[in-house]
Amino acid sequence: MRYLHNRSFRPLSFLIGLLFLAGFAHAQTSPRIVSLDGTVSEILCDLGLQARLVGVDVTSTYPESLQKLPKVGHNRTISAEGVLAQKPTLVLTTEKAGTKADVLDQLRSAGVEVVSFKQEFSVEGTKKLITDIATACRVPSKARGLIRQVDTEVAGVKKAAGRPKVLFIYARGAGTMFVAGRGTPVEKMIELAGGQNATNQFDDFKPLTAEALVGANPDIILLFDSGLESLGGANGLLNVPGIAQTNAGKNKRFVMMDGHLLTGFTPRLGKAIGELARKIAPGGTL
Ligand code: HEM
C-alpha cells in the first residue's frame, strides 16, 4: 500500500494507458479494405464495416457516403497500382466484377489478402453472398438480420404480367453500346420481374448492332439512368440506328433504373425487382 502511495500510482493515467494500447492493437489488426465490386461494398456497409473501407470501384455507388472514398477504377480496367496506392491489407471482390486474374495475383504478390466471392444471380445467391462476406469479415451473426430483410422484401414483390420482351442496353455514349445476352445478371432481373430477355442469341454482352435490334424487336428497352443520360435522353436513343424500328422505339417504351440497383443483386433485391416489375408492367410508370 505504502509502495503504491510512494510511487504515486494514478488509476486514471493507468486506464488511459490501457485504452491507448487497446486502440493501437486494434489499429494493427483492423483490415484496410478495398472493394472492387459495388455489391460487396454495399453489403460491407450494411454489416457496419464501412469504416474499414479505404477504396472502392466505380460501381460502388450506394450508399451515397461511399462517394467520398478514393475510386480505384471499373472492373476490367482496374490496375494493381491504383489499388495498392490505398495501402489495403484486404481486397474483396466477386468473380462477376471481372477484375483480371493477373491483377489479383499482383495484389497477392504484394502481400495483400484477396478474396473473390462467387456470386449467383438469384435470391438465394444474394443471401449466400451476404453470409460469405459476413463470415470472411468475422461478423457472421450480423448476416441474419440482412437476410431476413431480403426475404421479407422479395416476398412482397408483384411480378409484371404478360412477359414483356425487354432488351437491356449498356451505354456510355453512342460509341460504347452493349446488349445483355444470356446468363447476365440483368437477364435474371428481367425474369424475376416477370419479363423475358428479348435476345437469347448469345452469352454475356455484345456490341449493339441495328440488325440485332430489329431482330430482337423488344417491347421495352431498359437502360441505366446514366446510360440514357450519356445518349442525350430519349431523343438521343431514338437516333441510334435500329431503335425507331422496334416496338419499344415506336411506342417510346424506354425504362431506366439506377445501374447498381438493377444489376447488383444487393440486399435491396426486393426493392430492385419491385421497381423493375412496376416499370415494365403493361402501362407501367417510367
Ligand atoms: C466496355 C465496357 C464498359 C465501359 C467502357 C464502362 C464504363 C463505365 C464508366 C466510365 C463508369 C463511370 C460512370 C460515371 O461515374 O458516371 C461506369 C459505371 C458503371 N458501370 Fe460500366 N462500363 C462498361 C461495362 C459495364 C458492364 C457490362 C456493366 C454491368 C452491366 C457495368 C456496370 C456499371 C455500373 C453499375 C456503374 C455505376 C454507375 C452507374 O450506374 O452508371 N459496366 N462504367
- Domain boundaries in the chain? 29-155, 165-280
Q: Which atom of ligand 1 is nearest to the CA of 38?
A: 35
What's the chain's average pLDDT? 91
Ligand 1 centroid distance, CA of 74 (Å): 7
- What pLDDT shows up at residue 3? 35
Q: Same CATH fold, 165-280 and 29-155?
A: yes
Pairwise CA distance, residues 17 & 155, whole Å: 52
pLDDT tens column, 122-156: 999 999 999 999 999 999 999 999 999 999 999 99
Q: Residue 5 above 80 pLDDT? A: no
Q: Cα dist. 83→68, 88, 194 in Å?
A: 16, 7, 39
- Topology given in CATH for the domain delimited by 165-280: Rossmann fold (3.40.50)
pLDDT tens column, 256-282: 999 999 999 999 999 999 999 999 998
User: Using 50, 70 and 90 to split pLDDT, how confident is the model at 30?
Assistant: confident
Among 71, 99, 172, which is best to mutate for testing ligand 1, by the most ligand atoms less than 8 A from CB? 172
Burial, 111: exposed, middle or buried (Cβ in 10 Å; 0-12, 13-18, 19+)?
exposed
> Measured from the CB, is residue 67 less than 6 Å from ligand 1?
no
> Measured from the CB, is residue 74 less than 6 Å from ligand 1?
yes
Is 221 strand, coil or helix?
A: strand
pLDDT tens column, 91-126: 999 998 889 999 999 999 999 999 999 999 999 999
Q: Which CATH architecture has domain 29-155?
A: 3-Layer(aba) Sandwich (3.40)
- What pLDDT shows up at residue 126? 98
- The pTM of this model reads 0.88
Nearest CA to ligand 1 atom 6: 172
